[in-house]
């Protein structure tokens, strides 16, 4: 299977779509057992807090900051972050084109 950034961006809703509120911009193109792949492109505010699974983020577009518990890290294309299960985290100050792959396991 192949998943591309362009393919995922094309599947995101247009901003005028009322179903998708600010901050809710993700697609899960793959899930098998306890592993899932998510394409995440927050807009406006990232409202996520924590997840029940461990996860990796792979930054693929733009730049910003990720806050993991109370530590802040800058992030840009090529950076990877590990976030343990149940640890509060979210993105802030991200560019309009920001996007990341996330692997939950």
Sheet holding 71-76, edge to edge: 71-76, 63-68, 89-92
Mean pLDDT of the chain: 91
pLDDT for 17 beyond 70: no
pLDDT digits (tens, 9 = 90+) for 54-85: 999 999 999 999 999 999 999 999 999 999 99
- The β-bridge partners of 58 are 80, 101
- The β-bridge partners of 90 are 67
Closest CA to 102 of 93, 90, 92: 90
Q: pTM of the prediction?
A: 0.87
Closest CA to 65 of 97, 95, 87: 95
Q: Where are the domains of the chain?
A: 36-105
Give 36-105's CATH code, choosing from 2.40.110.10, 3.40.50.150, 2.60.120.10, 3.40.605.10.
2.60.120.10
Closest CA to 103 of 48, 43, 31: 31
């Amino acid at each position: 299977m192949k998943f591309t950034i362009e393919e995922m961006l094309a599947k995101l809703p247009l901003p005028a779509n009322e179903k998708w509120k600010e901050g809710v911009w993700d697609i899960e193109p793959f899930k098998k057992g306890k592993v899932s792949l998510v394409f995440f492109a927050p807009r406006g505010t990232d409202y996520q807090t924590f997840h029940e699974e461990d996860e990796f983020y792979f930054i693929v577009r733009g730049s910003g900051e990720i806050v993991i518990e109370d530590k802040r890290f800058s992030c840009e294309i090529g950076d990877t972050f590990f976030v343990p299960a149940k640890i509060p985290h979210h993105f802030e100050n991200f560019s309009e084109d920001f996007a990341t792959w996330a692997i939950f396991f």
